[in-house]
Amino acid sequence: MLAIALEDRTPFAPPPPFPTAVAAIASFHGAPMVTDKPDSAHLLISTIRVRALIAIAESDDKSQPNVKSVLRDAFDRAHLPAEIEVYKGTLHGWCPPDSRSYDHEQAEKAWARQLAVFKQALV
């Protein structure tokens, strides 16, 4: 199973009753993935066993510059492969073609990375 999140922490939450059923996740400009709440997405990383792509809009990175480091640390502690990248010049909502902040070049790059990560997880 593959999971994609465009706006929330869903891919970090294991799908009951099959927490090992997901092989790969992708998050494009996900909503707050690092918070001080006990159900913060970064705290759920230790409960999953997946390959991950976390694509962060540059505008989101500017407003929360620590997110990428906290996520990297969480994936490293869990010994999970994760590609975490800030996509230069992008605004929140940059991947969906119908978004006002759509960035064709960077969205195509992110979708291609998603396919590569998913392919690696399924081999």
Number of structural domains the chain divides into: 1
Torsion of CA 47, 49, 42, 38, to 10 degrees: -10
Q: Give yes or no for residue 50 having a pLDDT over 80.
A: yes
Phi, psi of 35 (to 5 degrees): -135, 180
* Residues 86-97, mean pLDDT to the nearest whole number: 93
pTM for this predicted structure: 0.84
Token pair belonging to 65: 């510059």
According to the model, what pLDDT value does residue 85 have? Answer: 95
Distance CA 44, CA 26 (A): 15
* Whole-number percent of the chain with pLDDT over 90: 54
Query: Which residues on neighbouring strands pair with residue 106, listed in sequence order?
Result: none
| pLDDT tens digits along 4-13 | 544 555 556 6
CATH number of the domain enclosing 79: 3.40.50.1820
In DSSP notation, 23-92 reads: -EEEEES-S--S-SSTT-HHHHGGG---EEEEEEEHHHHHH-TTHHHHHHHHHHHTT--EEEEEETT--T
Cβ 105 vs Cβ 123: under 8 Å: no
Domain extent for 73:
2-122
29: phi > 0 → left, psi -120 to 50 → alpha, else beta; which?
Answer: left
In the numeric block, the tokens 């705290």 are attached to 43
Cβ 38 vs Cβ 44: under 8 Å: no
